[in-house]
């Protein structure tokens, strides 16, 4: 008889936690991901704002699991699930049979019926998203330096962020700092005061999931930094000229989408109807409805807490779900099939608002200001996966803290294998 | 009367050296580059082989010149030169007038009449080239892990480098190390012994510009590392299936071009005929023939040494040329127009062959082996431009030296602003 085969799709926080929690289990694990790397999403905005380089927040999945003998890592693209035969279907026609399937495919940014906005308002989910946004931010400054028309120049120096959650707040603070530090002494026609950052949130407050006092503090801190915060005005149009929200319009060439996400196509694979954001409404034990051998975890799942509220789409939740599923698998192998509902434990909420300011809500304690900022930094260093990254990110932050220099202000394009940029650009 | 206007095109070693050497001159400098960053080319192969990340070898030109008040940096694409009116023409229609023009536009890889090879054999000149090659190398291993056909698998695990100069030698050594370190413990079906690296050189020896004893040592060192070195067999065909050279053929999916470069279109801009590689044959003072106010330096120039040999296309030569032109400009402003020919001083040749082995030829002393490797490393750290980079590259190297882990093994694609990869790949 073969060993119990666990197939995990997705090498994010949830998938990785599942694999690691099964390190000592007598199972054969296959982890499949379209990418070769795990991404530390909480710091991705720092890649987009030139503070960190991509390799500081992403690591090869193979490398992270190299010491675990019962895992096989496969870089491949899943196109479906054959529920009857219990096999995962890959793009190249291969089939990967499973006894237990764990779907940890995460979310992507979603524009809720306005896909045409994406072209003008990229979201931040992948390493490529981050370098593309970095490119957009830095190119806007370069274009502004050469622009002589006052109105066009103002639009080039205006940056709009849609969405007032942690990502939006962190991006707003980081763009102010990147912009001011870049302009200072390095551009002839620009002044740091020309920079305008607008944060647009449809709801009544920023960081809506945080304790209201921390939202108020964050609002103040953003305003002190010079960020224009627009609350209670949902966005109605995004195009090449700017953003319209409520009865207002801001002319800008650079819009960043931090407002909404939708689950990957798991619902389609399983032939189950997803919720509005495409997530699977899972059973209390995180299995898919009617499929006790298929678990859905992390951002792909819609799970409910004891208090009736939804489990938030954050890294700790995905990790807890992964560990829960690993425990269930081990129990089942041992013959124990008693139901074990998932109980989410909320550790807290953190967000940073530029240099030396952050808010933290651990439930039992609420922190704000420079002390919270240090706790935020230490917490993130602690949660990083690799020793090397801990050292390098600490040093990168220290360097920025002491000198103000952001090290990764590179404008790079896509792969250049098929073009010779010099000739192409200069010869026509 | 306006100040003397110096326009420098290109922010590589030559252009940057010119600008810096004019720091105290009473001139108005405009430095124009298509890119926002200066690239430390000698270490670019380490980005391609995942040892360093792009931001460790590239820095914003604005940042490097931030303390120099007489320079304006312009990110823009030059399309021509109006010699009569003494102005540089930019893609967007702008004109940049000059009193002295310095063309430091560098070189790009060239396929000498076989442009169709480029698709299969990318060269290494830009940050994008490096990440594209890194992607190719890492994807080949991923594909090999899944390939069941023995012949196709062998082709996937074979890497060919065309060109036995320093870049080819350094790439060969680095690919062996990257491949073995990546395979070890991280792939289930691959063994480090399956890896095959072939270095193909049309001439009689590797490192043809080095002292012959060092060439012989390098050949031995490459063979000891397991690199197949093929000498005296010019390449006659490159396609998706492999490389044909002399009477032989090697089946491979990954070919890297380190064989030839050609100058950027400066000759065309000036309406002067370039040499076979497109370079301008400059006058002894580095001015373009018949254009005493236009200087051509670095890889764009074909200059001759006192001994009749050509000035090599290396960073120190470009820097010396830049400083020479700066001196000439200052003399001319002072009213001194006596001719001052450029005299190239050859500092030496360096190349590294994997971990703990290098060759150095300083003329008065020749070094090889581990001591040369340490000298090579220290010399490169010394020549790096920024303190931060010195610290971070030293640490990156130390980490690899101590742990064998290459930190930047990311497979990334082009910009993703216009695609939603997850849906796109998984939904079709």
pLDDT of residue A272: 93
For the record, the structure tokens of B80 come out as 């021509």
Phi-psi region of A113 (alpha: psi -120 to 50; beta: other; left: phi over 0): left
Region B84-110: mean pLDDT is: 95
Question: What span, in angstroms and rounded, lies between the C-alpha atoms of B106 and B9?
Answer: 10
Query: Which of B178, B416, B428 should be substituted to probe chain A, the one whose Cβ sees the most A Cβ atoms within 10 Å?
Result: B416
**Tens digit of each residue's pLDDT (9 = 90 or more) over A112-171:** 889 999 999 999 999 999 999 999 999 999 999 999 999 999 999 999 999 999 999 999
Count CB neighbours of B392 within 10 A: 22
Q: Find the closest chain A residue to B414 by CA distance.
A: A414
CA distance A206 to chain B (A): 26
**Tens digit of each residue's pLDDT (9 = 90 or more) over A41-55:** 999 999 999 999 998
DSSP category for residue A304: B
Map residue A59 onto helix, strand or coil.
strand
Residues shown for chain B: 428
- Model confidence at A199, pLDDT cuts 50, 70, 90, reads very high
Q: Find the closest chain A residue to B72 by CA distance.
A: A188
Mind telling me the catalytic residues of B? Answer: 170
Residue with tokens 């093994």: B409
**Tens digit of each residue's pLDDT (9 = 90 or more) over B308-337:** 889 988 999 999 999 999 999 999 999 998
> Residue B170 in contact with residue B222, Cβ under 8 Å?
no
**Tens digit of each residue's pLDDT (9 = 90 or more) over A57-80:** 999 999 999 999 999 999 999 999
Residue with tokens 């018949």: B290
pLDDT at residue B244 tops 80:
yes
Please name the residues in contact with B232: beta carbons below 8 A apart, sequence gap of 6 or more.
B201, B202, B203, B204, B246
- Model confidence at A424, pLDDT cuts 50, 70, 90, reads very low
**Diameter of chain B measured on Cα atoms:** 75
> What residues does each domain of chain A span?
4-110+261-333, 115-259
> Residue B132 in contact with residue B123, Cβ under 8 Å?
no
Map residue B2 onto helix, strand or coil.
coil
Residue-averaged pLDDT of chain A: 90
For the record, the structure tokens of A244 come out as 């319209």
Residue-averaged pLDDT of chain B: 90
DSSP string, B66-135: TT-TTEEEEE--EEEEETTTTEEEETTS-EEE-SEEEE---EEE--TT-GGGTTTS----SHHHHHHHHH
CA distance B137 to chain A (A): 13
| Secondary structure (H, E, C), A82-110 | ECCCCEEEECCCCEEECCEEEECCCEEEC
pLDDT of residue B406: 79
Q: What is the CATH number of domain B4-110+261-333?
A: 3.50.50.60
∠ at Cα B21 (B17, B25), nearest 5°? 145
Higher pLDDT among residues B305 and B363, named by residue = B305
Question: What span, in angstroms and rounded, lies between the C-alpha atoms of A199 and A141?
Answer: 19
Return the CATH number of B115-259, one of 3.40.50.2300, 3.40.309.10, 3.50.50.100, 2.70.98.60: 3.50.50.100
Residue with tokens 């989910």: A125
Residue with tokens 């890294």: A315
Provide the percentage of residues in chain B whose pLDDT is more than 90. 69
Which of B62, B265, B426 is facing A427, going by the closest CB pair? B265
Tell me whether residues A60 and B186 touch, CB distance under 8 A. Answer: yes
Tell me whether residues B118 and A268 touch, CB distance under 8 A. Answer: no
Question: Between A and B, how many CB-CB pairs are < 8 A?
Answer: 213
Higher pLDDT among residues B388 and A331, named by residue = A331
CA dihedral defined by B56, B57, B61, B65, rounded to 10 degrees?
80
CA distance B315 to chain A (A): 19
pLDDT of residue A301: 95
Which of A108, A138, A415 is facing B413, going by the closest CB pair? A415
For the record, the structure tokens of B106 come out as 């560098």
> Residue B318 in contact with residue B17, Cβ under 8 Å?
yes
Residue with tokens 């990957």: A264
Region B161-174: mean pLDDT is: 95
> Residue A104 in contact with residue A298, Cβ under 8 Å?
yes
CA distances from A130 to A49, A412, B10, B306 (A): 8, 11, 27, 51
Which of A75, A264, A420 is facing B142, going by the closest CB pair? A75
Higher pLDDT among residues B278 and A198, named by residue = A198
Tell me whether residues A414 and B411 touch, CB distance under 8 A. Answer: no
Angle between helices B370-383 and B387-403 (to 10 degrees): 150
Query: Which of A10, A62, A115 should be substituted to probe chain B, the one whose Cβ sees the most B Cβ atoms within 10 Å?
Result: A62
Among residues B90, B18, B41, the alpha carbon closest in space to that of B324 is found at B18
φ and ψ at residue B405, rounded to 5 degrees? -90, 120
Question: H or E segment at B32?
Answer: strand B27-33
Question: What span, in angstroms and rounded, lies between the C-alpha atoms of B402 and A309?
Answer: 48
- Catalytic: which of A91, A118, A170, A424? A170
> Residue A226 in contact with residue A197, Cβ under 8 Å?
yes
pLDDT of residue A421: 33
- Model confidence at B356, pLDDT cuts 50, 70, 90, reads confident
Number of alpha helices (DSSP H) and beta strands (DSSP E) in chain A: 13, 25
pLDDT at residue B103 tops 90:
yes
> Residue B73 in contact with residue B53, Cβ under 8 Å?
no
Which of B67, B135, B392 is facing A415, going by the closest CB pair? B135
φ and ψ at residue B393, rounded to 5 degrees? -70, -40
What Rg value do the Cα atoms of chain A yield, rounded? 23
**Tens digit of each residue's pLDDT (9 = 90 or more) over A226-282:** 999 999 999 999 999 999 999 999 999 999 999 988 888 899 999 999 998 889 999
Question: What span, in angstroms and rounded, lies between the C-alpha atoms of A366 and B74?
Answer: 47
Exposed, middle or buried, A359 (CB in 10 Å: 0-12/13-18/19+)?
buried
Question: What span, in angstroms and rounded, lies between the C-alpha atoms of B109 and A222?
Answer: 48
CA distance A35 to chain B (A): 7
Question: H or E segment at B168?
Answer: helix B166-183
Pairing mode of beta strands A196-201, A158-162? parallel
CA distances from A47 to A16, A179, A227, B216 (A): 22, 14, 20, 45
**Tens digit of each residue's pLDDT (9 = 90 or more) over B187-235:** 988 999 999 999 999 999 999 888 889 999 999 999 999 999 999 999 9
pLDDT of residue B426: 28
């Amino acid at each position: 008889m073969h060993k119990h085969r666990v197939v995990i799709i997705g090498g994010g926080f949830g998938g990785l936690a599942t694999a690691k929690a099964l390190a000592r289990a007598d199972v054969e694990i296959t982890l499949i991901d379209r990418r070769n790397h795990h991404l530390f999403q909480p710091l991705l905005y720092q890649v987009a704002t030139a503070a960190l380089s991509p390799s500081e927040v992403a690591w090869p999945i193979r490398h992270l699991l190299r010491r675990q003998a019962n895992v096989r890592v496969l870089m491949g693209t899943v196109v479906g699930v054959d529920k009857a035969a219990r096999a995962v279907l890959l793009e190249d026609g291969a089939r990967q049979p499973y006894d237990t399937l764990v779907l940890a495919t995460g979310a992507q940014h979603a524009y809720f019926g306005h896909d045409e906005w994406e072209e003008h308002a990229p979201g931040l989910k992948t390493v490529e998203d981050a370098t593309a946004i970095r490119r957009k931010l830095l190119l806007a400054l370069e274009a502004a330096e050469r622009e002589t028309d006052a109105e066009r120049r103002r639009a080039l120096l205006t940056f709009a962020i849609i969405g007032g959650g942690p990502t939006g707040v962190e991006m707003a603070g980081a763009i102010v700092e990147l912009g001011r530090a870049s302009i200072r002494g390095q551009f002839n026609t620009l002044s740091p005061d020309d920079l305008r950052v607008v944060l647009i949130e449809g709801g009544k407050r920023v960081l809506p999931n945080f304790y209201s006092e921390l939202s108020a503090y964050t609002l103040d801190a953003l305003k002190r930094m010079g960020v224009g915060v627009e609350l209670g005005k949902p966005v109605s149009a995004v195009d090449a000229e700017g953003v319209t929200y409520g009865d207002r319009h801001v002319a800008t060439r650079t819009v960043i989408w931090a407002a909404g996400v939708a689950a990957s196509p798991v619902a389609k694979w399983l032939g189950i109807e997803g919720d509005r954001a495409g997530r699977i409404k899972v059973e209390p034990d995180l299995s898919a409805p009617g499929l006790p051998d298929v678990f859905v975890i992390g951002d792909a799942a819609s799970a409910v807490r004891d208090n009736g509220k939804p489990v938030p789409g954050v890294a700790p939740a995905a990790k807890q779900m992964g560990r829960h599923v690993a425990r269930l698998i081990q129990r089942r192998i041992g013959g124990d099939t008693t139901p074990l509902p998932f109980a989410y434990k909320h550790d807290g909420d953190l967000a940073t608002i530029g240099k030396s300011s952050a808010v933290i809500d651990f439930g039992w304690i609420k922190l704000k200001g420079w002390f919270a900022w240090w706790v935020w930094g230490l917490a993130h260093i602690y949660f990083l996966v690799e020793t090397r990254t801990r050292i390098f990110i600490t040093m990168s932050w220290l360097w920025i803290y002491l000198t103000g220099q952001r090290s990764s202000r590179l404008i790079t394009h896509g792969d250049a294998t098929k073009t010779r940029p010099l000739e192409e650009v200069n010869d026509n």
